[in-house]
Structure 1
């Protein structure tokens, strides 16, 4: 899954730790999402979207490998 999370986080001036605190996860979790090595739950995705006031598809998109 491709993530635009790092772009949104930088745009709004949040560190990984600050965003993690806002959505109730660890800084490492945010880093793994940004690297594409962790697929977050739908609840976490929706929490992140609330922070950035955006749609799910603005932050995340499926890649070809996700269909395999």
Structure 2
């Protein structure tokens, strides 16, 4: 399992997005963030800002802490 928190956050974000059956494009529209930025976050290439974590959590109807939990084993 990766240990880089950016990668772990990205995996958790993918898990939450797929649970809603949303594409990156849909999440981008719902959160107001750029799709290319979201792709970088999901790949663990971006160091996401706290305000963006809150935007994503609100769009996905989850708590910010949910996004910071370790991803499920089947996603890792």
Fold similarity call, TM over 0.5: yes
- Unaligned stretches of 5+ in structure 1? 63-68
In the alignment, is residue 42 of structure 1 matched against residue 50 of structure 2?
Answer: yes
Gaps of 5+ in 2: 71-76
TM-score, L = length of structure 1:
0.77
TM-score, normalised with respect to structure 2: 0.70
Dislocated runs of 4+, deviation >4 Å = none
More strand by share: 1
Taking the aligned partners of 1:39 and 1:19, their CA distance within structure 2 comes to 18
> How do 1:49-60 and structure 2 match up within 5 A?
49-60=57-68
Matched positions, count: 62
Q: CA RMSD in A?
A: 1.7
